[in-house]
A and B are shown apart, each in its own frame.
Chain A
Amino acid sequence: MHGMTENIMAVLLVVNLALMASSRLAGCIGLVALQGIAIGLLPLFAPGGFSARGFLLAAFVAVLKGIVFPRLLHNAIRGASVRREVEPFVGYGFSLIIGVALTILSFWLGTGLLPSSHGNERIVLAGAIATVFTGLFLIVSRRKALTQVLGYLVMENGIAAFGLAVVSEIPLLIELGILLDAFVAIFVMAIIIYHISREFDHIDADQLSTLKG
Chain B
Amino acid sequence: MQFIDNAIWLLAAFPLLCGMVSLLLPSPRLVLSAAAAGVLASAALDTLAVARVFARGAMASNGDWFRVDALSAFHLAVMIIVFAMSSIYAVSYFRNEPEDMQLNLASARRFSALWHGALAAMTLVLISNNIAIMWVGVEATTLLTAFLICLHISTVSLEATWKYLIVCSVGVAFAFMGVLLLAASAGANAAGASVMQWTHLQGIASGLDPRLARLSFIFLLVGYGTKAGLAPMHSWLPDAHSQAPAPVSAVFSGFMLNMALYCIMRHMPIVAQTAGNQHWAGNLLIFFGLASILIAAVFIISQHDLKRLLAYCSVEHIGIIALGLGLGGAGIFAALFHTLNHSLCKTLGFFSAGRIGQACHSHDMRQIRGAMRIDPLWGGGLFGSLLALIGVAPFAIFMSEFMLLKAAADSHRYIVIVVFLLGAGIVFVGVLRQAIEMAWGEKPQGAHGIKSSLAERIIVLATLALLILAGIWMPDFFRNALKAAAAVAGGGMP
Contacts and interface: CB of A to CB of B under 8 A. Distances in A.
Do the two chains touch directly in the complex (Cβ atoms below 8 Å apart)? yes
Interface of A: 114, 132, 136, 139, 145, 148, 152, 155-156, 159, 162-163, 166-171, 174, 177-178, 180-181, 184-185, 188-189, 191-192, 195-196, 199-200, 205, 208-211, 213
A199 B158 contact: yes
A21 to B, nearest CB: 22
7 contacts: A139-B166, A178-B132, A184-B140, A191-B147, A208-B162, A213-B238, A213-B303
A206 B173 CA distance: 22
A162 B180 contact: yes
Given A139-B166, A199-B153, A211-B156, A169 B193 contact: yes
A177 B159 CA distance: 28
Nearest to A136: B170
Given A166-B184, A192-B162, A211-B242, A199 B136 contact: no
Contact of A171 (B140, B162, B193): B193
Contacts of B153: 195, 199
A192 B136 contact: no
A129 to B, nearest CB: 10
A148 B132 contact: no
Nearest to A205: B162
A177 B124 CA distance: 12
B158 A185 contact: no
The main secondary structure of chain B at its interface with chain A is: helix
B154 interface: yes
Nearest to A187: B143
B151 to A, nearest CB: 12
B74 interface: no
A205 B261 CA distance: 29
Contacts of A139: 166, 170
Could you say which of A181, A188, A208 has the most chain B C-beta atoms within 10 Å of its C-beta?
Answer: A181
A211 B195 contact: no
A192 B173 contact: no
B156 A159 contact: no
Contact of B161 (A170, A177, A192): A192
Given A211-B239, A213-B302, A174 B132 contact: yes
Contact of A188 (B130, B147, B156, B302): B147
Given A174-B130, A213-B308, A189 B176 contact: no
Given A136-B170, A152-B169, A188-B147, A211 B133 contact: no
A172 B155 CA distance: 41
B218 interface: no
Contacts of A166: 180-181, 183-184
Among B169, B170, B303, residue most surrounded by chain A Cβ atoms (within 10 Å) = B169
Contact of B173 (A152, A199, A208): A152
Contact of A163 (B146, B165, B180, B302): B180
Given A171-B193, A199-B154, A192 B143 contact: no
Given A139-B166, A167-B184, A188-B143, A174 B156 contact: no
Per CB-CB distance, the 7 closest pairs between chain A and chain B, nearest first, are A166-B184, A208-B159, A177-B136, A174-B132, A211-B239, A171-B193, A181-B139
B162 A177 contact: no
A148 B242 CA distance: 24
A211 B149 CA distance: 14
Contact of A211 (B146, B184, B238): B238
B253 to A, nearest CB: 17
A162 B174 CA distance: 12
Contacts of B156: 210-211
A210 B159 contact: yes
B150 A192 contact: yes
Contacts of B196: 170-171, 174
Contacts of B143: 181, 184-185, 188
Contacts of A188: 143, 146-147, 165
B192 interface: yes
Contacts of B140: 181, 184
A143 to B, nearest CB: 13
A210 B155 contact: yes
Given A184-B140, A192-B146, A211 B183 contact: no
A56 to B, nearest CB: 17
B190 interface: yes
B402 interface: no
A136 B190 CA distance: 30
A167 B183 contact: yes
Nearest to B302: A213
B361 interface: no
A211 B159 contact: yes
A177 B302 CA distance: 43
Nearest to A177: B136
Nearest to A196: B158
Interface in B171-194: 173, 176-177, 180-181, 183-184, 190, 192-193
